[in-house]
Every structure is written in C-alpha cells, then in structure tokens.
Structure 1
Amino acid sequence: MTKALIVVTNNSKFKKLYKATGIWLREVTHFNQVMQENGIDVDYASPEGGYVPIDPLSLAPEAMDQTDWQFYLDDPFRNTHLAQSLAPTDINPADYQVIYFAGGHGAMTDFPDNKDLASIASTIYNNTGIIAANCIGVSALLAIRSTDGKRFVNGRNLTSFTNDEEALNGLTNDVEFLPEDELKKAGAHFEKGEAFKSHVVVDDRLITGQNANSATDVGEAVIKALLK
C-alpha cells in the first residue's frame, strides 16, 4: 500500500518575536485530503515527535474552509496526528513512497538544518519515491545533500514562499531568513507566480508549492507522479 509521510513543525514561536506560529493548517489538511481521496495512508512526523502547534492565524474564520474544519474537528487528526506525531527515530523510510514537508512559519526554525529529516527524505527519494514540499516547508530541502555531496536543490526547478509574499505579510525583517533567497544561494532555479495564488513546480520527483493555497495542487501533482 502506498503511504505518505507528512512532516510538520514542533516550533510554536517566531525566533525573533513574541508571536505564536506553528503549522499553517491548510497546508496540512488540503494535502491530506488529496491523499485520502486517492486511498493513500498518511503518517505525521515532526523534528522532535509529539505535539504539533497550529499557527493561530490559520484558524481565523476567513482562512478556513470546509476541508480545514473537517480535519480540525476530527478527533484522530487532533489527538493522534498532531498530538502524537512520530519522531525521526520512529520512522522506517522504506515504508513510504512520498514525503511532504508542510509549511507555516514554525518550519523556518526546525526544518532547514535537520539532518535526520534530510536523511529520511533522501532515502525515500533514492528509493524512487517523491519529495514534496510547500511554502516555507520547502526550506527543509536546504538540509538535503545528493549522493555526490552537493546540495539537493542545486540546479533544480522549484518554488517556495516568496520574498514578495513575506513583504506583504510585513515580516521581512522579523523572520530568520527568506526562503527564496536561501534556495537561490543553494543553486536552485527559483520560479514564482502571483502572490498568494496557487503555483506548483514539478521537477521529476521533486514537487514544490509556493504558498498555503498551493497545497491541494501539490497533492494532485504527487498523485499524478505516482501514476507514472
């Protein structure tokens, strides 16, 4: 049976600000919904395992749709996936054909340098699996190295949360780094669409989305890639 590993942050606070953060709920729920609709089982993992915080702004009425509410009100989703996420030591990469790094500003702290998650992703990819990531979750790719020791993103086409979108958020000077800048420095061919509109880039078995509104389309691209 095909399985996907959804990777989420444990970080509940901006590093530079007394401001709550965590996962952006839509990035998790909409990807998960596509997996469910296609009969793909999912597990949730985080850098430390255990509790997964939700960015409170992603719970605003205007930010949530029917899919978000369906998951938010689902006891197994809250009490198992988010309250008891797997730690990297719990994971056998051979069990998964897809790994998906969800965003939210929390991921900016515990994704980019996480060698354990990078190793899991590399193993899945080298086993002909798919690496997918969305928004700030794409920053997890910065920790991955190819078998030749080079940056995994070097020479690859991808996208992530853009400098323009962070500026529109008013957080350019408050975040730890700008994913667009760091991915470009690592040698990625960065592509971006209109701010806060869905935009997905597919580079073989690497699939990335620009922002929270891209999560469904990232999921659909994963399904398409699995069917090849």
Structure 2
Amino acid sequence: MPGRAAPARTTLRRDRLGDAVAAALEAAVELHRPIALEKADPGEYAAVFYPGGHGPMEDLAPDADSARLLTAAIESGTPLALVCHGVAALAGTMDGDGTSPFAGYRVTGFTRAEEEQAGLADRMAWVLEDRLVALGLRLSAGEPWASHVVVDRTLHTGQNPASSASLAAALLKTLS
C-alpha cells in the first residue's frame, strides 16, 4: 500500500551480523515512515535506490511519479542505483514521442536467460531485457546468476540478486 512501511522480515540470522543489521534497521526511523513517490524530491537525498523483484515490473514501470523521480534524479546528477527487476522502472521514463532521458546509457538488469532458467519468461507480459533495448538503452549482460554491475555516469545498475553487494559498493564509491 503506497506510503506505508513494508512488512518487516521477522526472522533475521541470530548472530553478530544479524543482530547488527536488525539494530541498524530499527535505528533508521526514516524506514518506519515511508513517503509516497509523488512527494519524493531527489534533491533531498544523496542517492535514489530501486530494489529488485517482480513488483517494480508491474508497479513502477508504468508509474508516472516514479518516472518523474528518475528523470529528475538523472537531470540533477543525483546517483541512481537499480538492481535486478528494479531496472524496469526506467521503462516509465519514455515520453510521448518514444524517447527516454536514459537512451544511450549502458545498463544491466535481469536477463532473458535468467527469466528462462527461472521458468518465468513465458508467463510474463514482457521481458525486461527486451524493454530495455526498446528504450534505446545499451544492455550489458553478464553470466546468468553471477554478479554483474554497470555504472554509466550517475546510473548504477545490477543484473540480479547476486549483484546487490557489488552494486552497493559501486554506489558507495560514487558517494564518497
């Protein structure tokens, strides 16, 4: 539901790292009060991050507020990081004449090969890889299920869940 916190995972690893992650999440009070996308101003943040999952393909790809946020971020030089299916949000940035401010950027995202290996390619309304190419993005695909990150200007993209840590490291390098 927009503007509400996502349900928290109730079972974290019960070790030193799990306890540290749980404490950090609890201390990040901003996560307890998410804002709706239409109220998000990229100028108020050091970076914009979009997670993966099939939700972004259905919810963020056609969302005008998401497209506005992504376009404003790229135009202002705010670093963007999108991982896996979260890269689908870029599809919403196509304007009426069929162009996107991201056209020509090098990106990666969940590949057709990964969708096929997961048994999902035939059950989806569209495949991310095809949509990215149609947007005029220059797709870079790594080995299926292996970490693969592409950084082009202020846009950081990770191919799949295995790319999450490498994507975070690339974004932190940009921010430091």
Output the TM-score relative to the length of structure 1. Answer: 0.65
Match of 2:150 among 181, 201, 226: 201
Q: Secondary structure at the match of 1:100?
A: strand
**2:71 match:** 122
- Give 1:67 deviation, angstroms: 5.9
Distance 1:68 1:191 in 2: 33
- Give 1:192 deviation, angstroms: 0.6
Aligned pairs, number: 173
Structure 1 gap ranges (5+):
1-9, 11-47
Q: Secondary structure at the match of 1:165?
A: helix
Distance 1:103 1:180 in 2: 14
Match of 1:91 among 32, 36, 40: 40
**2:121 match:** 172
Q: Secondary structure at the match of 2:80?
A: strand
Q: Do the aligned partners of residues 209 and 141 (structure 1) sit closer, same or farther apart at CA in structure 2, a change above 3 Å counting?
A: same
Q: Do the aligned partners of residues 193 and 122 (structure 1) sit closer, same or farther apart at CA in structure 2, a change above 3 Å counting?
A: same
> Are the aligned partners of 1:135 and 1:210 in contact in 2 as well (CA < 8 Å)?
yes
What is the aligned-residue identity percentage? 30
- Give 1:211 deviation, angstroms: 0.3
Distance 2:83 2:175 in 1: 18
- Give 1:69 deviation, angstroms: 7.5
**1:156 match:** 105
Q: Do the aligned partners of residues 159 and 53 (structure 1) sit closer, same or farther apart at CA in structure 2, a change above 3 Å counting?
A: farther
Distance 1:77 1:175 in 2: 38
Deviating runs (4+, > 3 A) in structure 1?
65-75, 77-80
Q: Secondary structure at the match of 1:224?
A: helix
Give the counterpart letter for 1:49 in structure 2.
G
Q: Do the aligned partners of residues 80 and 132 (structure 1) sit closer, same or farther apart at CA in structure 2, a change above 3 Å counting?
A: closer
- Give 1:78 deviation, angstroms: 10
Match of 2:171 among 202, 214, 222: 222
RCO higher in structure (CA 8 A, sep ≥6): 1
Following superposition of structure 1 onto structure 2, how do residues 5-24 of structure 1 map, counting pairs within 5 Å?
none
Distance 1:145 1:66 in 2: 45
Distance 2:25 2:119 in 1: 34
Distance 1:161 1:72 in 2: 28
- Give 1:152 deviation, angstroms: 2.6
Distance 2:88 2:65 in 1: 14
Following superposition of structure 1 onto structure 2, how do residues 131-146 of structure 1 map, counting pairs within 5 Å?
131-145=80-94
Distance 2:79 2:87 in 1: 14
> Are the aligned partners of 2:106 and 2:138 in contact in 1 as well (CA < 8 Å)?
yes
> Are the aligned partners of 2:133 and 2:139 in contact in 1 as well (CA < 8 Å)?
yes
Match of 2:26 among 76, 80, 83: 76
Distance 1:198 1:169 in 2: 17
Distance 1:162 1:204 in 2: 22
- In angstroms, what is the RMSD of aligned CA positions? 3.0
- Give 1:71 deviation, angstroms: 4.2
1:50 aligns with 2:4: yes
> Are the aligned partners of 2:81 and 2:155 in contact in 1 as well (CA < 8 Å)?
yes
Q: Do the aligned partners of residues 84 and 149 (structure 1) sit closer, same or farther apart at CA in structure 2, a change above 3 Å counting?
A: same
- Give 1:131 deviation, angstroms: 1.4
